[in-house]
């Protein structure tokens, strides 16, 4: 066992000791979407600071709590808040939560985020299923010594976002009457927002939405064989799409405005897993 796998095992053991022992699905809640974790009945709440080696989530809009409970008869672990690359965490820390979920035997994860809309057809507040991503972090969470306990050295990523879960989410959205977009998510470093020239370049490359998270978590989850679903809340038109400056407060305001619909969609998906 490496020191990294020791840390993962210690965190998983600590969670088991608190009664969090596996789940049917884990959900990572992006900026402003933490409300989902507050609605989970019949479970426990563990602040990140009480889980050994777990990186703190310090961004406004991220509570930093792991909550477990039942949703539609399914056991759910909700992570309210995530570590970001732009905070200075190495990608092994950014994806530590995924590793612990894997160690707990969680078979699938729903990654949510707030993202800027590059596709000019996207309305602010729209929800987008992530069909695939472009990793523009300039790094990869799997860099480092290869540990077979964690997964393959060269894991396949051809279907990083599960086709089955995307179809299920599309169906649930249709039944609920929630409009849903599909698209490609480009992950960037941040923390500065992009320039209009960068957004034009990403559009040429095929990106529909831009954000500062999710891709590393998806890569790691997939390496471990978890099914991954990604959903972006289009919280703002990306830089230069409209003639207005970007700020985190507006991002938060939009995600807060649509969170009722977002939670309804998540509950619908979880209930049909
Ligand atoms: N760019 C990058 N990350 C984001 C954005 C954006 O426009 N909106 C929300 N997260």
pLDDT in tens, 27-83: 999 887 887 887 787 789 999 999 999 998 666 656 789 999 999 899 999 999 899
Kindly give the number of the ligand 1 atom that is closest to the alpha carbon of 246.
7
pLDDT reported for residue 15: 97
Testing ligand 1's pocket by substitution, the residue of 31, 202, 213, 235 carrying the most ligand atoms inside 8 A of its CB is 235
100: left (phi over 0), alpha (psi -120 to 50) or beta: alpha
Q: What does the block give as tokens for 67? A: 């909550």
Say if CB 207 and CB 134 are below 8 A apart.
yes
DSSP 3-state of 90? coil
> Within the chain, which residues score under 70 in pLDDT?
1, 57-62
Pocket of ligand 1 (CB under 6 A): 114-116, 193-194, 210-212, 235-236, 238, 246, 251
Residue corresponding to tokens 């009664």: 19
CB half-sphere exposure, 4, CA atoms < 13 A: 20
Residues 6+ apart with CB under 8 A from 85: 91, 94, 137, 139, 189, 190, 212, 216
Percent composition of the chain: helix, strand, coil (DSSP 3-state, to 5): 35, 25, 40
pLDDT reported for residue 223: 98
pLDDT reported for residue 59: 62
pLDDT reported for residue 97: 97
Indicate the DSSP class of residue 153: S
* 212 Cα to the center of ligand 1, angstroms: 7
Q: How far apart are CA 33 and CA 260, in angstroms?
A: 9
Q: How far apart are CA 184 and CA 195, in angstroms?
A: 19
Phi first, then psi, for residue 62 (nearest 5°) are: -120, 115
* 271 Cα to the center of ligand 1, angstroms: 29
* 98 Cα to the center of ligand 1, angstroms: 22
Kindly give the number of the ligand 1 atom that is closest to the alpha carbon of 194.
1
Q: What does the block give as tokens for 97? A: 């939560």
Testing ligand 1's pocket by substitution, the residue of 212, 245, 252 carrying the most ligand atoms inside 8 A of its CB is 212
* 65 Cα to the center of ligand 1, angstroms: 23
Q: How far apart are CA 126 and CA 128, in angstroms?
A: 6
| Protein residue with its CA nearest to atom 5 in ligand 1 | 116
Q: How far apart are CA 75 and CA 68, in angstroms?
A: 7
In the chain, how long is the greatest CA-to-CA distance?
53
Kindly give the number of the ligand 1 atom that is closest to the alpha carbon of 117.
7
pLDDT reported for residue 252: 87
Catalytic residues: 31, 62, 84, 86-87, 114, 212-213, 236, 248
Testing ligand 1's pocket by substitution, the residue of 231, 236, 252 carrying the most ligand atoms inside 8 A of its CB is 236
Phi first, then psi, for residue 252 (nearest 5°) are: -65, -40
Kindly give the number of the ligand 1 atom that is closest to the alpha carbon of 188.
2
Residues 6+ apart with CB under 8 A from 135: 187, 215, 216, 219
pLDDT reported for residue 58: 67
pLDDT reported for residue 243: 86
pLDDT reported for residue 265: 95
* 209 Cα to the center of ligand 1, angstroms: 8
């Amino acid at each position: 066992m490496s020191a990294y796998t020791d840390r993962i095992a210690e965190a998983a053991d600590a969670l088991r000791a608190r009664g969090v022992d596996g789940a049917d699905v884990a959900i990572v809640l992006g900026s402003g979407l933490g409300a989902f974790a507050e609605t989970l009945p019949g479970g426990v709440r563990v602040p990140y600071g009480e889980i050994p080696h777990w990186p703190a989530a310090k961004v406004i809009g991220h509570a930093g709590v792991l909550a477990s409970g039942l949703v539609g008869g399914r056991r759910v672990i909700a992570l309210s808040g995530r570590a970001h690359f732009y905070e200075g965490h190495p990608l092994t820390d950014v994806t530590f939560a995924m590793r612990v979920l894997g160690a707990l035997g969680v078979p699938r994860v729903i990654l949510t985020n707030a993202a800027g809309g590059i596709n000019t057809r996207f309305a602010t507040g729209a929800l987008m299923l992530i069909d695939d991503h472009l990793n523009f972090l300039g790094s990869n969470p799997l860099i480092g010594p290869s540990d077979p306990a964690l997964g393959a050295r060269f894991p396949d990523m051809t279907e990083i976002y599960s086709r089955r879960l995307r179809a299920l989410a599309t169906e649930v959205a249709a039944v609920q009457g929630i409009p849903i977009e599909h698209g490609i998510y480009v992950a960037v470093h941040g923390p500065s927002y992009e320039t209009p020239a960068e957004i034009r370049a990403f559009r040429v490359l095929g990106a529909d939405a831009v954000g500062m998270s999710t891709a590393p978590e998806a890569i790691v989850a997939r390496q471990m064989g978890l099914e991954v679903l990604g959903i972006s809340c289009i919280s703002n038109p990306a830089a230069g799409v409209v003639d207005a400056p970007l700020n985190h407060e507006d991002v938060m305001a939009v995600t807060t405005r649509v969170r009722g619909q977002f939670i309804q969609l998540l509950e619908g998906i979880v209930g049909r897993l």
